[in-house]
Amino acid sequence: MNKKTLTITLLILTISGILAACSGIDQTFDQSDQKPEGTPSSTEQPGEKELDPDEKDLTVPEGALQKKDEGDQVKLLQSALNTIGYSVHENGLFDETTTWAITDFQLQQDSLLVSGIYDEPTKKALKKTIEANETITAGAGLPQQAEPAVTDAGTEVIANPYDQIALINKEHALPADYIPEDLVIPDVPFPFAEDLPKKQMREAAAKSLEQLFNKADEAGLELYAQSGYRSYERQDAIFASNVLKHGEEEANTFSARPGESEHQSGLTMDITSPNVNFDLITEFGETEEGKWIQENAAEFGFIIRFPEGKEEITKYQYEPWHLRFVGKKAAKEIMSQGITLEEYLN
């Protein structure tokens, strides 16, 4: 081998060694970039797991909420309301303003029952509105600031008559022109056949009354519905008649002035039984039906609105027949504690 051939051979061997070394380096880097299965990504910290898509998109509370509730879920609800056009203080308290906003939103949705309570149908409608990036005109259904008004007797008129837990008494009256839009006749027995307005209740209350009556029937009891919805004008005539018979002071212990009657709300039903000849008398509370109602009404969202021993608070006599629908949550708290709606709200 001559000198020139030897030089070329050495050069070739040198180049081959360099290429082999480069190939080894490339393979080393390739292997380091391939993470073992299960190794966290650069944006995922050890111990963390990827959120479920539903959890990522959680913009509204999952459970039911209503007046007097508080906490992070209420704050989330208030934030959701603000997203669609409201200006609710995000304080985590389901207060009157939050109740108004929910009521106003429900009034602007054709498919929702109006109650001021955040329930499953309201949740779906609110979430749909947010996902569609839609906004609403706050107050278009129910103005937040109603014009101050009083009845002829000087009683303050409440601003939100739709509120399922509204306090209606001698100090808080319903507007004279308020007529519930969802009045229906519950499928329960009445001691009369005529289709009178007093057979009616708001839809949610009517459905719950049907369930209550069905359960009582299973227990072998006989309940009859006697008097539900009553218009402002009808209440005016009834109160005037009672005043003529008993005088205004006495009449107002058992009969409400117009606007001050819960019957106008559509959330009340007077009930009775054959054991008291279908009358509305205190003896009803001593019957098997009356005792059963005392123990079980709350399971269906009803309270005995004017309980015995609370006359100084309610300003009405004991009425074991007068059922008021407030929903299961409020009813159970009120009945289990033996308090009135006034005490519950105040």
**Which residue from 227, 205, 186 is spatially nearest to 297, judged by alpha carbons?**
205
Locus of tokens 């009775």 = 272
72: left (phi over 0), alpha (psi -120 to 50) or beta: alpha
Strand partners, 323: 269, 304
CA distance 307 to 319: 6
Contact 190, 225 (CB under 8 A): yes
- The one catalytic residue among 319, 333, 342, 343: 319
**Which residue from 76, 127, 119, 81 is spatially nearest to 100, judged by alpha carbons?**
81
Is residue 11 packed enough to be buried (19+ CB in 10 Å), middle (13-18) or exposed (0-12)? exposed
Determine whether 319 is an active site residue.
Answer: yes
Instruction: Quickly count: other Cβ atoms within 10 Å of residue 260's Cβ.
Output: 22
Contact 183, 269 (CB under 8 A): no
CA distance 241 to 234: 11
CA distance 282 to 6: 126
CA distance 309 to 188: 30
CA distance 22 to 156: 90
Residue 300 has, within 13 A of its CA and on its CB side, a CA count of 24
Is residue 3 packed enough to be buried (19+ CB in 10 Å), middle (13-18) or exposed (0-12)? exposed
List residues with catalytic annotation.
319
